[in-house]
Amino acid sequence: MKFTIQRDYFITQLNDTLKAISPRTTLPILTGIKIDATDNKLLLTGSDSEVSIEITIPSEVNHEEIVTIEEKGSIVLPGRFFVDIIKKLPAAAVTIETNHQFQAKITSGQSEFNVSGLDPDQYPLLPQVSEEDAMTLPINVLKNIIRQTNFAVSTSETRPVLTGVNWLIKDGELSCTATDSHRLALRRLKLENSLDNINAIIPGKALSELNKIISDEDETIDIFFASNQVLFKVGHVNFISRLLEGNYPDTSRLFPDSYETSLALHNGDFFHAIDRASLLAREGGNNVIKLSADPQHVELSSTSPEIGTVKEGVATSAFEGQGLKISFNSKYMMDALKAIDNDEVSIEFFGTMRPFILKPKDDENVIQLILPIRTY
């Protein structure tokens, strides 16, 4: 195999491929990047057997030559080490040449590295996902869905299904739900001519890596579901993730029909008031903020035995129902407010010990649910 490639372009693609590679893998070959040179393109593959990324580098991009392939072939090179070499090379172009013993000679300007590679035939085959039924989303919508749900997945492996986001497609609507059992994020989206009856749990880590790779320059992304894999296809990138096995809990019963108390608040003002009050809550070590609300005023307060107390008055544009006092985790509340793009937020309470919900005013498509904290 022998090819010459523009170094800057190569670095970008290698960095994205590296996002699928975990140093903790049990298969040593998976710490490497597989490179396939064909007639007119280069294929980079990285995988940790949970997430796999395939990136195609075409010979030309926007009429500019990116890669020249003199001899076809394949090799697996040590991932992070190889990328570090490419980053530090002196010239604008890099030539990589391999022999039958899987030795790679990397030259650029006055530099020459000889690196031992591995047999590409030993690299595990990537899972195959049928590309028949696609669901197509605008990139900015997918990024929003990830931003508005993924922060609420569980980081604990005790219930593995909760470390992912449940994608449910039914009756032309996509519902994405994430919960760590202390809070829940839900994003709904009406779909046109899409798939139906999909119920998949996509790992939160995979969505987080996907979000880093997809750029706003691409307009849409195609998504394909298989029985235990999902494929995201955008531009020159194929991103494949294993789906989590198990049944996602039914969260629909967490949303009662009628609230006891409802507030409408300015998102930014409320967020900054919590941010200030949480300075003491964090010092107290528990992030607890108390909210007391009645038709006359809404107040946030927090106490740290060592430092003191804080009180914040919050203006409301609407108040319905009875007064209440409730305590919550300030971080959860701030995360939820960040996931709501509207200036006006509506908060509905169903009693002091029941979960309460936040949503944009007059919009049911983004719902954040938080469990209150019992304080005595």
Residues 32 and 79: beta-carbon distance below 8 Å: yes
Helix axes 204-213, 139-149, angle to 10 degrees: 140
Q: What is the CATH number of domain 255-370?
A: 3.70.10.10
Q: Point out which residues pair with 302 in neighbouring strands.
A: 310
Per-residue pLDDT of 99-113, as tens digits, reads: 999 999 999 999 999
Q: What pLDDT, on a 0 to 100 scale, did the predictor assign at position 307?
A: 87
Per-residue pLDDT of 337-374, as tens digits, reads: 999 999 999 999 999 899 999 999 989 999 999 999 98
Q: What pLDDT, on a 0 to 100 scale, did the predictor assign at position 296?
A: 86
Residues 236 and 41: beta-carbon distance below 8 Å: no
Superfamily of domain 2-122: DNA Polymerase III, subunit A, domain 2 (3.10.150.10)
- Position of tokens 């890099």? 94
Q: Tell me whether domains 135-219 and 255-370 share a fold.
A: yes
Domain boundaries, the chain: 2-122, 135-219, 255-370
Contacts of 356 (CB under 8 A, 6+ apart): 326, 328, 347, 348, 349, 350, 369, 370, 372
Q: What is the CATH number of domain 135-219?
A: 3.70.10.10
Q: What pLDDT, on a 0 to 100 scale, did the predictor assign at position 47?
A: 96
Ranges of residues in the chain whose predicted pLDDT is under 70: 193-194, 284, 376
- Position of tokens 């307060």? 301
